[in-house]
Structure 1
């Protein structure tokens, strides 16, 4: 079995030593943050990938400085605005907090849970251009609902609804029923302002009590 020799760095090679300094962020241009309070030759630095909090003006930061190797902000030590922060992640994703509010900025967000996903809030708002909702079983309950639609297209194999009171106001109503349309009610009243037409191959009207027809002119046959 061959012996494995440990490779050591040559003694003539001097590795640059990094210095840690404290500084205050005074401004920013692109990816460079301007610093104050550090050594005179250190007036700017970039944010290290490990520093997730985006430095802001007035923040106290910890800077790693290597001569002729650049300077990087390793951490934000204190915030000029304690209630505000932005966590920047690779890929253009950011989480921003301000006064207890959280904002997530990303090109695409995918939430996956192996068991349950719950969202609770006094007010919930969803907005978008296109929306798709798919469920094998859906249960919804609301004390009051108000909806505005431009156009609605629905398809269902079976619909069952139980309503205490139903009030509808429609401009025009058209229905096509292929088989049976049956109404069961205690009382039915139909009020038509202009003309009421019934066309059928066969028509029957039955009453166990009184049948009354009243009009200025009645044509039969």
Structure 2
């Protein structure tokens, strides 16, 4: 009996076959011949050419129920034609790999949760444009190295406590501070040096000390 005659019968049965062609519809070679087949919705593994599959043959057509065997070393691919939702009610979802786990999205990748934890010995992030919105940031690091063309910071208050501060501005460039009040205090020594030094005040300029040396 040919595959066409079997499909015309009212009997529904299962049979194994080999995938000959993949695409929107599969070509599967059964014992009775080659026929067109569709992947069953419960068959998440995408069949490949040469795979051994289990098919359900019924009057409405042939459905691939499962992939039984494939080429040695070939990856197992889970694929759907629409949205895919993996849900665990009252439990966890764990994805493990002995080598690497990749998460890729053609448009967007979203991670949402009450708490997000990322732990790794080494990491790298490459983002063309980054927007961050948060209420609190706490970081404990040993060393930070930042290289940027421009950096703009707008803050309501900035408090820094450090042991040593070194700032170097290239020659012939500008280091400018504008404020309503500037208070500079040194426990031991305050040194101001320059090729030229100008101190001007619109109302009052005062120099006070036990000893004042000019010249």
Q: Secondary structure at the match of 2:199?
A: coil
Q: Can you give the 5+ residue segments of structure 1 that lack an aligned partner in the other structure? A: 1-13, 214-221
Change (3 A) 1:195 1:58: farther
Measure, in 1, the Cα distance between the counterparts of 2:176 and 2:192. Answer: 17
Partner of 1:103: 102
Partner of 2:68: 77
Measure, in 2, the Cα distance between the counterparts of 1:81 and 1:108. Answer: 33
- Does 2:14 match 1:20? yes
Measure, in 2, the Cα distance between the counterparts of 1:208 and 1:63. Answer: 101
Partner of 2:24: 31
Change (3 A) 1:129 1:181: same
Q: Deviations over 1:159-207 (max 9, x none)?
A: 1122233233334333221x21122223333443x43333322322233
Partner of 2:208: 206
Partner of 2:190: 188
Please tell me whether the aligned partners of residues 53 and 69 of structure 2 are also in contact (alpha carbons under 8 angstroms).
Answer: yes
Name the count of aligned residue pairs.
194
**Which of residues 165, 178, 201 in structure 2 aligns to 1:176?**
178
Partner of 1:61: 53
Change (3 A) 1:203 1:79: farther
Partner of 1:219: none
Change (3 A) 1:140 1:79: farther
Higher relative contact order (CA 8 A, sep 6+): 2
The offset of 1:121, in angstroms, is: 1.5
Please tell me whether the aligned partners of residues 54 and 65 of structure 2 are also in contact (alpha carbons under 8 angstroms).
Answer: yes
The offset of 1:81, in angstroms, is: 5.2
Measure, in 2, the Cα distance between the counterparts of 1:46 and 1:64. Answer: 10
Q: Deviations over 1:60-119 (max 9, x none)?
A: 33233335x3333222334535683332245466999986322233333333324x2211
Q: Secondary structure at the match of 1:104?
A: coil
- Does 2:142 match 1:143? yes
Q: Secondary structure at the match of 2:103?
A: strand
- Does 2:34 match 1:42? yes
Q: Secondary structure at the match of 2:101?
A: strand
Please tell me whether the aligned partners of residues 18 and 65 of structure 1 are also in contact (alpha carbons under 8 angstroms).
Answer: yes
Measure, in 2, the Cα distance between the counterparts of 1:99 and 1:187. Answer: 60
Q: TM-score, normalised by structure 2?
A: 0.69
Change (3 A) 1:122 1:208: same
The answer to which structure has the higher strand fraction is: 1
Please tell me whether the aligned partners of residues 27 and 34 of structure 2 are also in contact (alpha carbons under 8 angstroms).
Answer: no
RMSD over aligned CA atoms reads 3.5
Please tell me whether the aligned partners of residues 25 and 60 of structure 1 are also in contact (alpha carbons under 8 angstroms).
Answer: yes
